[in-house]
Structure 1
Amino acid sequence: MIIVSNILQFYTTYYPIIMTLIWILGSWISGNQFHTYDSKYDSLLNASVTILLPTFNEEHTVIDTLKSLVALNYTNYNIIVVDDKSNDFTVSVVKKWLLHNTPEVPIKLLELPNNMGKAQALNEAMSYVESEYVLVTDADALLNPNALHQMLKKFDSDNVGAVTGKPVVRNRTTILGRLQTLEYVGIIDRIKRAQDSLFGGIMTVAGVIALYRSEALSDVGGFDKTAVTEDIDMTWRLRRKKWLIHYTPLALTYILVPETFSGYFKQRIRWSVGGLEVFFKNAKWVYHNEDVKQKFLLFDMLFSHIWAWLALITFFQYIIMTIGTQTFSLPGVIILIYIALFSIMICQGIIQDKRHSQLSLHDVFEIPFYSTFYWTTALITAIASQIIVCTLHRRKGSWTSPDRGK
């Protein structure tokens, strides 16, 4: 029992350290890789693209998104706005804007008769797609003019099925908004760079900016309407069909994030529940798959959920011991290692960001709270999602209007 206890203690203490080192190493490799572009894929830069914009109660944000889409530095594309039976003025706002504007980009408004959920709304819109590629984004996202061009360049192999870009937080009026800004720069970008460079593909595309090969979407039968997170689910369904999924930090999309803790945890728990769904659906396949990289990508999710419970148990043991012995002590060396590694990681993130995220002094002032914020919320959302999946969860691909801050 003592040996088992020591192993669990080691795992609880060093899992965050090991993962941080992997993220730093993988991001460094990603930043130093020499990417060549095969001229035989020059036709990609004029490939036909359909942008799918699913909406549900987006009256306050959809027009800004449309303005960013028609301003892309690209010519051969069209837009389909698919409204999933909004109960606000989304449809009216879009129709009014189309009536008073004549964009050069063809735009179709598809009104669904019933609320079907995001995944099924995308499937309905897919029946109108005739292009080689499909870009899926959200109705609160503002795409950088060069985003589409940058993603197409990553389809430099015939077996690349999807490419995702880099979200940049644009609402930073609260501490929570600024902490998420650092999270996207310092952790999420690190993780995706590391996964792509070390394991030949990423865990999941970002639903807010994902470019798919139409052939790949057809190969997997479209989006799963029962999936809680259609982007995570689609990533692994593509992977099972041997399609590659890549990441490019050069394709930027400016997003709104929750600015209330209630909205934030609802979002993150939904992501975590969706991740667990994907794990249970794919664990057997990955286990029997000979590709070690595939195993690591999926089972890292399991490792993080195990760590969450062990960390919680260790915390309560520490509290009980402190009360019982009337002494207060902290593992100083371990804490210094945590601080050092997270400082290195955030500095690496800022350097590789190349001012794309336009970090301000207000953002930087949140750095001392950044590490605690990330690992604490990771622990809470992991445990909450496990409880939901084991007790209350029923698979349903519906959606509600999220907290998008200000």
Structure 2
Amino acid sequence: MHNIVALLLDYAFYYPLVMSFTWMSGSLIYYLQWERKRPTRTNPPPLESYPLVTLIVPCHNEGEQVRETIAHLDAQCYPDFEIIAVNDGSTDDTGAQLEALQAEYPRLRVIHFSSNQGKAMGLRMAAMAARGEFLVCVDGDALLDEYATHWMMSHMVDGPRVGSVTGNPRIRNRSTLLGKLQVGEFSSIVGLIKRAQRVYGRIFTVSGVIACFRKSAIHDVGYWSTDMVTEDIDISWRLQMRHWDIRYEPNALCWILMPETLRGLWKQRLRWAQGGVEVILRYTTDLFHWRARRKWLVALEYICSLVWAYTMLGIIALWFLGLFLSMPAWLSIPTLLPQWHGVVLGLVCLIQFGISTLIDRRYETRMGRNYYWMIWYPLVYWLLSTTTTVVALPKALLKRKGTRAVWVSPDRGVR
């Protein structure tokens, strides 16, 4: 029993340490092999052809943002595209604004749902109505960079088995500590992980806020699932289980709004965590086939993260019990305050942030000014990640099968 407790303590320390070095090494390989050799964001490479692209934006109560979103879509530096907006049962003036915007933007078409059907259903209907073979999907509060479509299409025309390309989300709202932390997070965690996963085999998920899809690939896997909390994770897995390739394009920028309240952040991250668990539960049996071997590392890493979250819960529980009960020495957790283990993890975390900042200067020149705020990241986000994962597992297990996932208006932060 003593060995088991010691093993859990070692796992709590070594898992984030090993994964941090894995992400850093993979992202550096990606940067040195591909990224640094590419042209600047505003000078994308010419394409052999410029097929029609359909820009899709599903909307639910996006009245405050939708006009700006459509304007950025219409400003794409790509010669041939159309825009489809889906008004998914909005209760504000989103539908009226979209109708008015059709007069300003001839490329825009609007689909109206009378009731809230969920993002996945909106994407399905727009894909079926699309005239283009290639679909660029963004959220209703996102501002797509003018060169993003061109950059993602450079991958699509490169090979017929490229099923999707995920872009590079950037945080718009950063007036609070939570906003500043997320600027660093999307650079040093999200960006590094996607670079590393691209190098090591498979990407866990596209970014639901900005991704390009090949319509024939989406049709091949049966379109987006309407019963999954995170349709982007699910479609990523189904595409790759059918041997469609997913790529990451850091030059495809998209400026997004993120929660800046603890309540809003909790709800968002709980949904993300539940979505990951749902995908693992649904596709675990498929992973035992040899043809799915390139997904094994991604699945193993996610399962290890689940184990780590519950390991941390156990450590915290033992510490709490030790406050009131007399515990054996080998079972005692004297403190949760950082000791030398915490200092090592904090130092490695700051190194990771430093590497990501250097890489991301290509896309955001003043990234360095957010470095100071990242000292708070382990405290805020590791705790958040642990608690959301612990809650998400039983929530996913108890979810009634076939329940449709519908829109819930998120926290848009302070602007």
Matching residue within 163, 166, 182 for 1:164: 166
Q: Distance in 2 between the 1:86 and 1:209 partners?
A: 21
Equivalences for residues 5-404 of structure 1 within 5 A: 5-34=5-34, 45-99=49-103, 101=104, 103=105, 106-155=107-156, 156-199=158-201, 201-289=202-290, 292-321=293-322, 332-354=339-361, 356-359=363-366, 363-391=370-398, 395-404=403-412
The normalised TM-score by structure 1 is 0.92
The normalised TM-score by structure 2 is 0.90
Q: Residue 185 of structure 1 contacts residue 357 of structure 1 at CA under 8 Å; is this kept in 2?
A: no
Q: Distance in 1 between the 2:368 and 2:308 partners?
A: 33
Q: Residue 318 of structure 2 contacts residue 333 of structure 2 at CA under 8 Å; is this kept in 1?
A: no
Q: Distance in 1 between the 2:367 and 2:233 partners?
A: 31
Change (3 A) 1:114 1:331: closer
Q: Residue 169 of structure 1 contacts residue 357 of structure 1 at CA under 8 Å; is this kept in 2?
A: no
Q: Residue 90 of structure 2 contacts residue 115 of structure 2 at CA under 8 Å; is this kept in 1?
A: no
Shift of 1:173: 1.4
Q: Residue 322 of structure 1 contacts residue 328 of structure 1 at CA under 8 Å; is this kept in 2?
A: no
Q: Deviations over 1:320-368 (max 9, x none)?
A: 4467589658663312220221111100111110152454676333121
Q: Distance in 2 between the 1:133 and 1:167 partners?
A: 20
**282-291 or 72-81: which moved more?**
282-291
Aligned-CA RMSD value: 2.3
Q: Distance in 1 between the 2:226 and 2:317 partners?
A: 40
* SS of residue in 2 equivalent to 1:163: strand
Shift of 1:224: 1.1
Q: Deviations over 1:18-60 (max 9, x none)?
A: 11110111111111114799xxx97565121101111111100
* SS of residue in 1 equivalent to 2:213: strand
Shift of 1:390: 3.0
Q: Aligned partner of 2:173: which letter? A: N
Change (3 A) 1:213 1:360: closer
Q: Distance in 2 between the 1:27 and 1:162 partners?
A: 20
Q: Aligned partner of 1:81: which letter? A: A
Q: How many equivalent pairs are there?
A: 399
Q: Residue 136 of structure 2 contacts residue 211 of structure 2 at CA under 8 Å; is this kept in 1?
A: yes
Q: Distance in 1 between the 2:266 and 2:308 partners?
A: 19
Shift of 1:281: 1.1
Change (3 A) 1:65 1:326: closer
Q: Distance in 2 between the 1:327 and 1:282 partners?
A: 40
**What percent identity do the matched residue pairs reach?**
32
Change (3 A) 1:281 1:263: same
**285-294 or 365-374: which moved more?**
285-294
Change (3 A) 1:266 1:331: closer
Q: Distance in 2 between the 1:232 and 1:381 partners?
A: 17
**316-325 or 182-191: which moved more?**
316-325
The residue number in structure 1 matching 2:329 is none
Shift of 1:116: 1.4
Q: Aligned partner of 1:24: which letter? A: M
**122-131 or 167-176: which moved more?**
122-131
Shift of 1:110: 1.2
Q: Distance in 1 between the 2:81 and 2:148 partners?
A: 13
Change (3 A) 1:320 1:397: closer
Q: Residue 178 of structure 1 contacts residue 362 of structure 1 at CA under 8 Å; is this kept in 2?
A: no
**355-364 or 58-67: which moved more?**
355-364
